[in-house]
A and B are shown apart, each in its own frame.
Chain A
Amino acid sequence: MSKETSDLIIAGGKLIDPGSGLNKIADIYIKGKRISKIETKKLIDLKKVKIAEDEKIINASGKIVATGLIDMHTHLREPGREDEETIYTGSQAAVAGGFTCICCMPNTDPPIDDQESVNFVYERARKALCKVFCIGAATKGLKGQELTEMADLKDAGAVAVTDDGRPIFNSRIMRHCLEYSKMLNLPVISHCEDLDLSSGGVMHEGYVSTLLGLPGIPSLAEEIMVSRDIKLAEFTSGRVHIAHVSTKGSVEIIRAAKKKGINVSCEATPHHFSLTDELIKTFNTNARVNPPLRAQKDVDEIKKGLRDGTIDCIATDHAPHSIEEKDVEFNAAPPGLVGLETALGLVVTELINKNVLSWEEAIAKMTINPARILNLNLGKIEKESPADITIIDPRISWTVDISKLKSKSKNSPFEGRKLTGKAWMTIVDGKIVHRL
């Protein structure tokens, strides 16, 4: 196949694709919405091609070419809080951050807990710059009492169920949720929080909360529920995925469960591997998040869990909040931070450049691993697969400037942080949707 029969060629980049096992310089040919060829032998001589005259060829030498990044944990706020984010503005932030696929959480207003609301999300997502998959509520109204019509949700395209933002606190309902969703082959994403133990808390319970006199959320509040959910998953043979693991104890519990062969997966967020509760000493409300930023020992263990494979995925938990809502005293601020546009830079700076993860491992945790957990037919570069590609500049240094974020909300605690690595180009279904 020659370049005449393709619409776009990504030439000379280092293809790192854990999904297909490729890790070498390659030219990727795209025809329409799909990849038509991966050439690793007869490479285009970029010195001979006049790029300016041939817009079809993208010179990706010095760049890393990956299959499009997938964020399996995104809050898009539509419907209900379109002042904070919409499915469209969230997709703008996503592609700027290198994501070609995001999975939106159902804790909107009203929640995504029936077929009609899932249809609404997909209807709005048609205009989005990236792929959007909908995660449905596990219980009606996210109340933790009655199961949603999960078969209906799945028919409409929901890829998982969750009450994220809240736990399913009643253990009997969680048991039935795992049993029922298993029948439908839908994973359950669990927000692990014992609401009695976390009650009133606004930050991690530790030395910093002692100093500040702010009510603490003990690590235990998460770990008890992680243990419970693993027990329930073992008993039901259900499919549980633990969202936003934040404590050392949780990592240890999940590691032991995996060793025992229990079917559990989990994710960690960039803020939980790159920030600690020390940041709250200035009462910075953008550092208020749930689960809270923990202590250094927790950050260290999350990195260890990422490295040894205990933690399967890196997910943003992108949670937009308006300036007004965050411009208040610390206790009054809602938890959550925006993460789509800083995630990749934090992965490169904090994990890859500090030898916690190799490029293959990091990319796997942002592509093929979440795709497998959610049964998405995405996450690898091969002939005929969708042309979703993220080209990463691994060396570019940049400083986070929240005023430049594409997200409608600017609640990032990373303002002013110097990062290395950024999405240089994002391609969705063969179309360039972002370029630096």
Chain B
Amino acid sequence: MPVTKLKSKDLLGLEGMSKQEIDFILDTAVSFKEILERPIRKVPTLRGVTVVNLFYEPSTRTRISFELAEKRLSADLVSFSANTSSVQKGETLKDTVKNIEAMKIDMVVIRHSASGAPHFVASCLDSSVVNAGDGAHEHPTQALLDLFTLREKYKDLKGLRILIVGDILHSRVARSNIWGFFAMGAEVAVCGPSTLMPYEMEKMGVEVFFDLDKALEGRDVVMVLRIQLERQQGGLLPSLREYANLFGITRERLKRLNKNFTIMHPGPINRGVEITPEVADGPYSVILDQVTNGVAVRMAILYLLSGGEEKVE
């Protein structure tokens, strides 16, 4: 039976989500992307629906992307970040979200530094909860927009050979994408420094590499992750310089990839560290398409979670 409605009231992660459900979200996003290309990029679909964006961790791209998605659907929205909320007065997360819900809202978009925080919030609320990134756990809307971007280019992801490079240990993008890629039938490998590779990573079903040149051999897609300077202080890396030498994606290294390859990056980019500027800006890079598609995919998610069925007119 074709999927016509999302199973859950919340979008917390991609672990366990079926290809049918993912395709349903992505198909819906296609319609919204068309709207974004119109002269007037706004529809009344979520008029009267109130969304609260709770960002307990700094974010530029994801937050603006959600806010634009909400505005273009005509939803009412309120955003706050942890440094302006009552968190500093010692209020618990549960009390904060219960109070917000008491003001009559419909959806909560939450980013939090603790894995599982959106799941906890979802268990406290009747409202729909969208995970906008939780700790190093999941970032499902990012993975969906990545899948959308690749589907636009390759039509079918089945058999696509994908490599994720960088700080796998701390990456929620990596985890969500691995589940998403697997659901779509792609083959996934990860590569990064041994100090940034989580325990028993191969159990997730991915091939694990520590040698970038070997890992790049015969790949169709390379997803490059941001490397953070803090990792150096934590004793995980000697220097960004050495990281760039060992794991930086340079034009030279692209020769090992298959024809018609794609370079992705969830942003924000450290140019010259994990990726050279010429690669980031090359014709095979879809980095800005990812950002554009992010709005359409988030519109689809908000629409479907608010009870939307099938495709929009």
Contacts and interface: CB of A to CB of B under 8 A. Distances in A.
Contacts of B15: 211
B34 interface: no
Nearest to A325: B92
A214 B135 CA distance: 7
B48 interface: no
A329 B198 contact: no
A331 B114 contact: yes
Contact of A213 (B94, B137, B200, B203): B137
A210 B117 contact: no
B136 interface: yes
Contacts of A324: 92
A150 B23 CA distance: 68
Residue among A211, A213, A330, A332 facing the most chain B CB atoms (10 A cut-off): A213
A146 interface: no
Interface in B76-121: 92-94, 112-117, 119-120
Interface stretch (A12-20, A32-40, A180-188, A201-209): A201-209
B204 interface: yes
Contacts of A282: 119
Contacts of B135: 213-214, 331
A122 interface: no
A207 B117 contact: no
Contact of B114 (A210, A216, A332): A332
B119 A210 contact: no
Interface in A196-244: 205-207, 209-214, 216
Nearest to A284: B116
Contacts of A328: 92-94, 120
B201 interface: yes
Contacts of B203: 207, 210
A209 B199 contact: yes
Contacts of A207: 199-200, 203
A216 B112 contact: no
Interface in B205-231: none
A332 B92 CA distance: 10
Contacts of A211: 15, 175, 204
Interface string A317-360: 00000001001111110000000000000000000000000000
A210 B200 contact: yes
Which of B134, B138, B198 has the largest count of A CB atoms less than 10 A from its CB?
B198
Interface footprint category on B: 20 to 34
Given A328-B92, A330-B115, A213 B136 contact: yes
Q: Which of A205, A211, A216, A282 counts the most chain B CB atoms within 10 A? A: A211
B36 to A, nearest CB: 31
Contact of A330 (B92, B120, B138, B200): B120
A327 B92 contact: yes
A214 B198 CA distance: 10
Interface residues of A, number: 19
Residue in B115, B134, B172 with the greatest tally of chain A CB atoms within 10 Å = B115
Contact of A210 (B94, B112, B113, B198): B198
A283 interface: yes
Contacts of B120: 283, 328-330
A12 B184 CA distance: 67
Nearest to B170: A213
A205 B116 contact: no
A329 B172 contact: no
A324 B95 CA distance: 10
Contact of B115 (A205, A212, A327): A212
Given A211-B175, A213-B136, A324-B92, A329 B116 contact: yes
Contacts of A327: 92, 94
B93 A329 contact: yes
Contact of B137 (A206, A212, A216, A332): A212
- The interface centre, meaning the residue of B116, B136, B175 with most chain A CB atoms within 10 A of its CB, is B116
B199 A213 contact: no
B196 to A, nearest CB: 12
Given A216-B199, A329-B120, A210 B204 contact: yes
Contacts of A331: 113-116, 135
B200 A206 contact: yes
Between B94, B114, B170, the greatest number of chain A beta carbons within 10 A of the residue's beta carbon is seen for B114
Contacts of B112: 329
Interface string B175-212: 10000000000000000000000111101100000000
Contacts of B198: 209-210
Interface string B134-158: 1111100000000000000000000
B284 to A, nearest CB: 30
24 contacts: A205-B199, A206-B199, A209-B199, A210-B200, A210-B201, A210-B203, A210-B204, A211-B204, A212-B115, A212-B137, A213-B136, A213-B138, A214-B136, A216-B199, A282-B119, A283-B115, A328-B92, A328-B94, A329-B116, A329-B117, A330-B114, A331-B113, A331-B114, A331-B115
Please name the 3 residue pairs, one residue from A and one from B, whose CB atoms are nearest each other, closest first: A213-B136, A283-B116, A213-B137
Interface of A: 205-207, 209-214, 216, 282-283, 324, 327-332
